[in-house]
Amino acid sequence: MSKKVQYEIEYPVRCSPGILYEFLSTPAGLQEWFADKVDFRDNVFSFSWNGSVEEAEVLEQEEDEFIRLHWLHAPKEEFFEFRIQISEVTNETILVVRDFAEKKEIKDQSQLWDYQIKDLFHRIGN
């Protein structure tokens, strides 16, 4: 199996960092766009899709700035992260998604994120 590499995708979003952060860091917010059902207990999110459950531990977070999660089944050095930045030039809010994938799968994984983020934007009225 080839080693996964980190990649990132940026999405401009018309939403305040505070509102966006709620959708990225709370069970109710994540359940709106990321998974069918989301629970949170002992610093671990449980995400359910069509009866299948995946768990991710919160590694680090800072309110209105970022949340970094680690899938419990993945190698220790891998994570996925939602980071909120403000463009110094346009003052626009930017959502940065960081994740890991094998090089040949980055395009497919990016398309999956595009689909998920499109759903998020729909939910926040973007």
Confidence of residue 3 (pLDDT cuts 50, 70, 90): confident
Superfamily for the 5-125 domain: START domain (3.30.530.20)
Per-chain mean pLDDT for the chain: 95
Closest among 43, 10, 5, 7 to 25, alpha carbons compared: 43
Summarised one tens digit per residue, pLDDT across range 23-82 is 999 999 999 999 999 999 999 999 999 989 999 999 999 999 999 999 999 999 999 999
Token look-up 């980055």 returns: 106
In what side-by-side order are the strands of the sheet with 37-41? 5-13, 93-101, 80-86, 66-71, 52-62, 44-49, 37-41
**Contact assessment for residue 21 and residue 64, using Cβ atoms and an 8 Å cutoff:** yes
Please, which residues have CB within 8 angstroms of residue 118's CB and are 6 or more apart in sequence? none
When pLDDT is averaged across residues 95-106 and rounded to a whole number, the result is 97
Largest CA distance in the chain: 44
59 or 2, which is more confident: 59
CA distances from 65 to 4, 38, 83 (A): 25, 21, 6
- Per-domain residue ranges for the chain? 5-125
